[in-house]
Amino acid sequence: MSGIIDLGSDEYFMGQALREARKAYAATEVPIGCVIVREGKIISRAWNQVETLRDATAHAEMLALTAAQNAIGDWRLEKCTLYVTKEPCPMCAGAIVHCRPERVVFGCGDPKAGAAGGWINLLNSCPPLNHRCEVVSGVMGEECLGLVQGFFREARERKKAGEEKPRPPGFPTDM
């Protein structure tokens, strides 16, 4: 069955999130991408635009959540799965819980500051919050991590060459 792509698989949709992450890379943004899927269809796509929008809250997940809500005209993302290439930070995890998707699938983990089990878990083990998501981790994790690592390796090289610009907050400075 090699060579056949399952268009409904987690790997397929994570591949689409990686496409978004590569757009971020091309724009010299930390390469993180996100897609939101409802009943097998992508309803929103976004890449990290912190530098582009000069807005430290413009993480891929936040932009994709707002776009998905616009797409369906409701803040309840029922029957939805959010795919993101890196484990969400506390801001994004908090936003995800508010929007209530059923599942969250991420690529590489963030043991230092991730909020989907890496550092803390806001997605499915917090009694005070009013929604719990099923969480799947490690889907295409190596590709997702490799992209971020490559970005920071290049950034270090630029820094050595005296071309570094300050990095936005909310992202790992090294992975």
Binding site members for Zn(2+): 59, 89, 92
11 is catalytic: no
Q: Is 66 in the site for its own copies (CB under 8 A)?
A: yes
Q: Site map for its own copies, 119-138, x if CB under 8 A?
A: xx-x-----xxxx-------
The site that binds its own copies (CB under 8 A) totals a number of residues, namely 38
Determine whether 73 is exposed, middle or buried from the number of CB atoms within 10 Å of its CB (0-12, 13-18, 19+). exposed
Q: Which residues contact 110 (CB under 8 A, 6 or more apart)?
A: 86, 87, 89, 118, 119, 172, 175
Using the structure block, give the residue that is written with the tokens 């799947």: 136
Q: How far apart are CA 60 and CA 47, in angstroms?
A: 4
Choices 1-9, 38-46, 63-71, 140-148; region in contact with its own copies by CB under 8 A: 63-71
Using the structure block, give the residue that is written with the tokens 């993101």: 84
Question: In terms of CB distance, is 42 or 72 closer to its own copies?
Answer: 72
Point out which residues bind its own copies (CB under 8 A). 50, 54-57, 62, 65-66, 69-70, 73-76, 89-95, 97-100, 112-113, 115, 119-120, 122, 128-131, 168-170
